[in-house]
């Protein structure tokens, strides 16, 4: 007889609740699913059951399992990657850091810690990949790095060294323009920014140093107040260029219109 093919004969003893009790010639009793017995089988019927080994299907299933095992290994054996940070923006008193999207693979992020000169600090998150570190000393060198806490442990980023600007370094100025009585008034301000090596943004963001306008209105103005960005008129920027150093914003603040009845 083929070792991969065996034939057995049984007598049906009892059919009950979807199961059949089969009795072999040597009086062994086994339970067998009644649903796969031939139609019309009742108690006392003789049935022949042939059992064969499907080597081809067995090998196919084994190959599928090995491929799945390899896929799982590749997916879950990759460790998370260390974060990479860089300096996004620098002024006299604050620094903005950003990092590339985190590659965590199979672990989950628990927390991101910010470090200044080796000490963990609180920093304002500007986005998922950017923070603003305020309250820094002018013309001072600092070292920054981040550490990510994951379900698989802690990972440290590279360390970035940066020196905050001196008072006569105007390149850190980054403004956003709001509402003006005359839009043409913005043109000389943009030209001044270019001469100073400074910059401006179309939208208000946490890394704006100042918000320049002549009228206190509009969604940009509202957002600037929410972010506590100094709101000044255009003369502040021109004064910075003329004097060759950062000017106090308090002397150039844009006054809010008086409310009716005041």
Residue/partner pairs of 158-164 with CB below 8 Å, 24 or more apart: 158/82, 158/84, 158/85, 160/85, 160/86, 160/87, 160/97, 162/87, 162/90, 162/95, 163/90, 163/139, 164/90, 164/91, 164/92, 164/93, 164/94, 164/95, 164/136, 164/137, 164/138, 164/139, 164/140
Predicted model pTM: 0.69
CATH for 174-252, among 3.40.50.10190, 3.40.50.10490, 3.40.50.300, 1.10.1760.20? 3.40.50.10190
Q: Which of 201, 205, 206 is nearest to 190 (CA)?
A: 201
199-201 and 174-177 strand pairing:
parallel
pLDDT at site 236: 97
Q: What is the pLDDT of residues 157-203, one digit of tens each?
A: 999 999 999 999 999 999 999 999 998 999 999 999 999 999 999 99
Q: What is the pLDDT of residues 229-240, one digit of tens each?
A: 999 999 999 999
Q: What is the pLDDT of residues 56-98, one digit of tens each?
A: 998 999 999 988 888 877 777 788 999 999 999 999 999 999 9
pLDDT at site 78: 82
pLDDT at site 203: 96
> Which residue has 């103005």 as its token pair?
221
Average pLDDT of the chain?
A: 91
pLDDT at site 53: 85
Q: Is 84:157 a contact under the CB 8 Å cutoff?
A: yes
pLDDT at site 258: 47
pLDDT at site 261: 46
pLDDT at 2 over 80: no
Residues 85-163, CATH architecture: Sandwich (2.60)
3-state helix, strand, coil in the chain (%, to 5): 25, 35, 40
pLDDT at 106 over 90: no
CATH of segment(s) 1-53:
2.40.50
Q: Domain residues of the chain, as ranges? A: 1-53, 85-163, 174-252
pLDDT at site 51: 86
């Amino acid at each position: 007889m083929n070792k991969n093919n065996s034939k057995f004969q049984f007598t049906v003893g009892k059919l009950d609740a979807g199961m059949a009790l089969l009795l072999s010639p040597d009086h062994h009793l086994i339970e067998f699913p009644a649903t796969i017995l031939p139609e019309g089988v009742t108690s006392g019927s003789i049935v022949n059951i042939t059992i064969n080994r499907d080597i081809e299907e067995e090998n196919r299933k084994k190959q599928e399992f090995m491929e799945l095992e390899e896929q799982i290994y590749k997916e879950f054996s990759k460790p998370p990657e260390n974060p990479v940070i860089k300096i996004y923006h620098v002024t006299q008193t604050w620094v903005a850091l950003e990092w590339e999207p985190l590659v965590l693979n199979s672990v989950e992020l628990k927390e991101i810690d910010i470090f200044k000169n080796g000490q963990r600090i609180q920093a304002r998150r500007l986005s998922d990949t950017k923070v603003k570190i305020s309250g820094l000393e002018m013309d001072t060198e600092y070292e920054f790095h981040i550490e990510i806490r994951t379900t698989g442990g802690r990972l440290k980023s590279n360390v970035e060294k940066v020196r905050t600007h001196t008072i006569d370094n105007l390149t850190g100025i980054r403004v956003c323009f709001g509402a003006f009585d005359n839009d043409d008034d913005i043109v000389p301000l943009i030209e001044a920014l270019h001469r100073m090596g400074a910059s401006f943004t179309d939208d208000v963001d946490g890394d704006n140093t100042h918000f320049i306008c002549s009228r206190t209105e509009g969604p940009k103005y509202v957002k600037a107040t929410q972010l506590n960005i100094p709101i000044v008129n255009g003369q502040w920027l021109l004064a910075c260029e003329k004097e060759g150093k950062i000017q106090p914003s308090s002397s150039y603040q844009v006054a809010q219109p008086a409310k009716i009845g005041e």
